[in-house]
Amino acid sequence: MNIIAGALVGGIYLGIVFSSGSGAVEAYIERVSRANRFEYGKVRVSGCVGWALCASITGILFSIDPNITFWIASGFALILGVLLWGLEAGKQQ
Q: Give the mean pLDDT of 50-74.
A: 93
- What is the spatial distance between Cα 24 and Cα 20, in angstroms, rounded to a whole number? 7
Per residue in 73-88, pLDDT (tens digit) is 999 999 999 998 888 7
Amino acid at site 73: A
DSSP secondary structure code for residue 13 in this structure: H
The per-residue pLDDT for 61 is: 92
The per-residue pLDDT for 31 is: 87
Q: Give the mean pLDDT of 61-71.
A: 93
- What is the spatial distance between Cα 29 and Cα 49, in angstroms, rounded to a whole number? 17
Three-class secondary structure of residue 93 per DSSP = coil
Parse the chain into domains and list their residue ranges.
Answer: 1-38, 39-86
Amino acid at site 7: A
Tell me the backbone φ, ψ of residue 60, rounded to 5 degrees: -65, -45
Q: How confident is the model at residue 90 (pLDDT cuts 50, 70, 90)?
A: low
Q: Where are the beta strands (DSSP E) in the chain?
A: none
Neighbours of 53 (CB within 10 A): 10
Per residue in 18-35, pLDDT (tens digit) is 888 888 888 888 888 888
The per-residue pLDDT for 92 is: 56
Q: Contact, 69 vs 55, CB < 8 A?
A: no
The per-residue pLDDT for 58 is: 92
Q: Has this prediction a pTM greater than 0.75?
A: no
